[in-house]
Amino acid sequence: MRSMRSLRAVLTATVTAVAAAGLATLGGGTAQAATPLPAHVFAPYFEAWTGESPAALAAQSGAKHLTMAFIQTAAKGSCTVLWNGDSGLPIAASSFGSDIKTIQSRGGDVIPSFGGYTADTTNTEIADSCTDVNQIAAAYEKVITTYDVSRLDMDIEVDSLDNSAGIDRRNKAIKIVQDWAAANGRKVEISYTLPTTTHGLASSGLAVLQNAVANGARVDVANLMTFDYYDNATHNMANDTQTAAQGLYNQLAQLYPGKTAAQLWGMVGIIEMPGVDDFGPAETFTLANATQVYNWAVSKGINTLSFWALQRDNGGCPGGAAADNCSGIQQNTWDFTHIFAPFTGGTTTPVNDFSVTATPASGSVVAGSSTTSTVKTAVTAGQAQTVNLSVSGAPAGVTASLSPTSVTAGGSSTLTLATTAATVSGTYTISVTGSGTSGSHTAAYTLTVTGGTGHQCTAAAWASGTIYTGGQQVSHKGHTWKAKWWTTGEEPGTTGQWGVWQDLGAC
C-alpha cells in the first residue's frame, strides 16, 4: 500500500543467501492442503511490523480473515524473503505461526502479501530483487507450506510496475507454483493488488495481468486500490469504487473472453482506505461510503473486500491526516470492520446497525455558562432505524439535554450542557447513548469546568468491585455517601431511601 512510505520499519541490511533448493524439498512436504478461502471474503490488511498480535486484533475486530503485509527481501539482490525485510522475522513458525494457527482454528485464515510500497521502491520485492525464477517460486512455496495457506497476494505498484523483467519472472514463478500445487492436489490462489484509476487499471497495471496470461499464470483475483488517485478531482469514493471496478471488469472480459459475467465479477477485489487517504481530505472514505460499497459488492458478487488497514479502523485522530494507526475521521473503533465483516461467505444482507459520535468530542466552560456538541448518527449496515438518545454521567451542577431525543439513523441532535456557578471545577465524561432495534451505541463527550465555587469531594470515589462496611464513606456523582452495612457492587443513589447508602449531600 502506498500509505506505508513514511512509517515502514527500517530494513535489515544483511541476510544469508537462500539455498538453491528444489520446490519438492521446501516446507517439509505438501500433501496437507490448506482449506480454500470462501468465494466471497472480507480480509483487511494487518500491518505486520507493529508488534501487535494478528490473532488478537482479528478477535477484537471480528475480522476472521486478514491480509498480512508485507513479505520482501532485506536488500536488493537477495532471494530470501522475510516479514518486513526483517532478519528477525524469517518465514518460519516462529514468526506469526501461532497467531496464524489460532486464526485458522477459529474458521479464518490469512493471505500473506508480497511487495508493498517500500519493497516496490527499493528493489526488495522478491521478483525485482531475485533473478532466479526457481528461487522465487521456492520462496512462494515456503510461505504456503510454512503457514498452510491457500492464497498469496502480490502487491505491485510504483517502480515494480515498470520493471518488465521482474513482472515476467514473477508470473513465471507463479506458474511453477501453480503446477506444483496441482500435482500435489493443493489449491493455491493468486491475487494481484494494483493501483487504479476511477475507470479501471492504468496501462502499467493491465500489463501485469497481460503478462500473466502470456505465461499461463492463473490470476484468481485482481484487487484494486480504490484510493490515492492523486488527480486533484472531486471524489465520491463509493461511486469511484464502482466505476473503477466496472472498468476492471471490462478489462478482464477482454483478457478472459471465455468467462461468464459472474466469473469475471468473481475475479474482482476492492481495497478501500477508511477515512482520509494519503492525498488528503478530498479523498475521504466515509462510513456511509462503506455501507454503499458493501451493498454494491454483495449485489455484484465480487471476490474480495478489504481495506488498508485494520489498525486504522478507529477514530483516534479525528480531523487529522492519513496515518497508519487511525482513520482521521469521527468513528467508533471497528466501525468499518463491522460494516464489511458480513461479506465473508457471500450474499448476506447486513443486519441494520448505526453509529453515534459527538462533534466536537470535548469542550471547556467557565462555571455558570453552557456549551453544545452535535450528536451525529449514521447507518453503518442495512437500513435506517429510529434511534432514541439519552445522556448520562453529568455531575452535580451540570444539566444535560438533547434536542431532539429521537432521530432516524443518519440524523443529528444537539447536546447542551449547562453549568451553574456552584459546579465543581474538574473534568467529566458525559455519555450519549443511542438505542435502536439492533442494540445501542455510546459516544463520549469530555467536559472541563473551570472557575466553579463548589467544593471537591474528599471521600474516595465509589468503585463497584470494592467491599464496603458500615460507616465507610465514598464520593459518587458529586455527593458523599455513607454505607449503613456491608455492601459491594451496589451503586450509591440507586438503592433508595431504605437502601445501603445514605446520602450525606453534595460535596
Alpha helices in 335-375 (DSSP H): 335-340
Beta bridge partners of 388: 406, 435
In the CATH hierarchy, which fold is given to the domain comprising 2-348? Answer: TIM Barrel (3.20.20)
**Residue 109 three-state SS:** strand
Beta bridge partners of 306: 271
Per residue in 466-479, pLDDT tens? 999 989 999 888 78
In the CATH hierarchy, which fold is given to the domain comprising 467-506? Answer: Seminal Fluid Protein  PDC-109 (Domain B) (2.10.10)
Domain ranges of the chain: 2-348, 355-450, 467-506
β-strand pairing of 65-73 with 45-47 = parallel
Per residue in 432-486, pLDDT tens? 999 988 778 888 899 998 988 776 678 888 888 899 998 999 988 878 889 999 8
Torsion of CA 20, 172, 265, 234, to 10 degrees: 90
Task: Give CA–CA dist 116/72, Å, rounded.
Answer: 8
Task: Give CA–CA dist 488/465, Å, rounded.
Answer: 6
Peptide bond into 54 cis (omega under 30): no
Confidence of residue 351 (pLDDT cuts 50, 70, 90): low
Per residue in 241-295, pLDDT tens? 999 999 999 999 999 999 999 999 999 999 999 999 999 999 999 999 999 999 9
Task: Give CA–CA dist 248/153, Å, rounded.
Answer: 18
Contacts of 335 (CB under 8 A, 6+ apart): 287, 290, 313, 315, 355, 380
Length of the chain: 507
Task: Output the CA–CA distances (angstroms, integers) from residue 442 to 241, 354, 387, 390, 474, in the order listed.
Answer: 30, 11, 12, 9, 27
Report the amino acid identity of residue 227: F
Report the amino acid identity of residue 222: A
Confidence of residue 350 (pLDDT cuts 50, 70, 90): low
- Please determine, for residue 86, whether its predicted confidence score (pLDDT) is greater than 60: yes
Q: One of 125, 157, 189, 283 is an active-site residue; which one?
A: 157
For 500-504, the CB contacts below 8 A with 24+ separation are 503/479, 504/473, 504/479, 504/480
Cell of 446: 469530555
Task: Give CA–CA dist 85/460, Å, rounded.
Answer: 52
Per residue in 44-70, pLDDT tens? 999 999 999 999 999 999 999 999 999
DSSP 425: P
Interval 189-205 mean pLDDT: 97
Residue with cell 528461487: 135
Residue with cell 451542577: 397
Which pTM value belongs to this model? 0.69
> Domain 355-450 class?
mainly beta
Task: Give CA–CA dist 465/29, Å, rounded.
Answer: 54
Residue 157 is a catalytic residue: yes
Task: Give CA–CA dist 4/120, Å, rounded.
Answer: 11
DSSP 364: E
Task: Give CA–CA dist 165/126, Å, rounded.
Answer: 12
Task: Give CA–CA dist 419/232, Å, rounded.
Answer: 46
Task: Give CA–CA dist 248/201, Å, rounded.
Answer: 6
Cell of 361: 468530542
Task: Give CA–CA dist 196/226, Å, rounded.
Answer: 6
Residue among 184, 208, 180 at smallest CA distance from 196: 208
Per residue in 382-430, pLDDT tens? 678 899 999 988 888 899 999 999 999 989 999 999 999 988 888 888 9
Burial of 186 (0-12, 13-18, 19+ CB in 10 A): buried
Average pLDDT of the chain is 89
